[in-house]
Amino acid sequence: MSSKKNVIISGFIALVFALLIIVASMFAGIAPHQIPQTTTQYTSTSTLTSTSSTVQTTTTTITSITQPTSTSTTTSTSTTTITTSAPSGKGILSILFTDPPRLAEGVTEVYINYSKIGIHYSKPNLGQGWVWTKSEGMNLNLTSLDGIAQAIESIEIESGSFINLIRFNITGAIVEYNGKNYTAFVRTGNLTITIIGGAEIIEGVNGLLVDIEPTVFNMGTKDEPFFVLTAVAKGYPVPQEEIEEIRDKIHVPGFKFEIRNRMWWQRLRQMHASSIEITSAKVLSNLLEVNVKNTGEGDVMLRLVIVFPLYTRMSWRGYFPAFFEGAAVFLIKQDGTLQPLQLRYKQNMGEDVKSMLMVSRGYKLEQGKSVELKYEGELTFEYGLRLKGTITPIPVSEYLVAVIGDGVADTYIVKV
């Protein structure tokens, strides 16, 4: 075919393509002059070494309106190589996160930043050590993972290795409260997590589910909140029969699948859930006694006791009040005694809370054991109120007693 014919055909194709764009724009409600003159394409390729792989290409178009009369369209094309089998003698471990959060009332979203992830392994004749993911970490919306597992990262490990620990740091947290975002203080950022029962890496596809259990509470006031996040986590091997149906997707970062109603997950949660119960409590003008039992699996760290007068009938979610203003707040010390915590200076509110929480180590309550948390002295219900001026005592007939730990909480009503 002559070059002249090639030019004619190419011009005809270009004309048809331009007409299609104009027609599509009219149906979409976009005037032709609003269509961007240039299109930027971003192509990223992520490859895991493998003898067998499936290539999946996804094209996503995101339209954002920056002004009432201006619309910009960006087309992003990503090509991901999904590993379906590992090299001989290797296993690919997909790490997934899930999260049933315990949140103060008014908190709707919790976002965390986390560092790169490490897996501790051992293998006969090869010793033991840590293997780390290549990624430095990312942002994650924890509240989107209630009953959902999300693939985070994949890592290559020698088959036949036994893994028993996973480690990462929560390096920052943002809380959405009543429609506004606040930086949260992370009380327990360095997490070294036990993999329940451990797991032997087989050649091919393996899965590890990390169940993060954060507790978010407001240690500021209603008008000036100061959020604290404490977290514990457990790791569970994903059964091989569960991996079969998602084998080609489980390694893709961001892939989600529902685990809420899966029997294997329900059994694991029931067997290994952490929980506490306040069995009795006494509140007098000069005495506070709270008896707490560890009714779950494993040891728990107890951090705070809050006693809240119920004359205002503040609502709560069954865990703790929405905020601690007007309560008596106590840090739980290593020996089970209670230390009063006050907010007295508005400008130092956040720093005061952080310094006190970092000094306090908390009380370790072993599985199946009980403890009496006790304070002898005058009880003053003025947390945060001194920031506003005069305190006027109001008679009450009931108190809400809350105990908060890492990933655990319970409440109890005391009638006077």
Q: Are 204 and 244 in contact (CB under 8 A)?
A: no
Q: What are phi and psi of 16, to 5 degrees?
A: -60, -45
- Characterize the bridge pairing of strands 409-415 and 328-332: unpaired
Domain 276-415: CATH architecture, name and number where available? Sandwich (2.60)
Return the SS3 of 398. Answer: strand
Return the structure tokens found at 45.
């390729």
pTM over 0.75: no
With the C-alpha atoms ordered 101, 105, 111, 113, is the resulting torsion angle positive or negative?
A: negative
**Cα→Cα distances 15→10, 20, 22, 314, 353, Å:** 9, 9, 11, 68, 67
Q: Are 367 and 294 in contact (CB under 8 A)?
A: yes
Q: Which neighbouring-strand residues pair with 47?
A: none
The residues spanned by each domain of the chain are 3-79, 86-272, 276-415
The percent of residues above 90 in pLDDT, for the chain, comes to: 43
Question: Which residues in the chain land under pLDDT 70?
Answer: 1-88, 311-320, 343-360, 386-395
pLDDT of residue 289: 96
Model confidence over 151-178: pLDDT tens digits?
Answer: 999 999 999 999 999 999 999 999 999 8
Q: Which neighbouring-strand residues pair with 216?
A: 103, 229
- From CA 175, how far away is CA 180, in angstroms rounded? 8
User: CB-based contacts of 183: which residues, under 8 Å, 6+ apart?
Assistant: 172, 173, 174, 175, 227
pLDDT of residue 80: 38
- From CA 294, how far away is CA 261, in angstroms rounded? 26
pLDDT of residue 372: 97
pLDDT of residue 183: 93
Mean pLDDT, the chain, integer: 76
Model confidence over 317-372: pLDDT tens digits?
Answer: 456 677 888 889 999 999 999 999 876 555 556 666 666 666 567 999 999 999 99
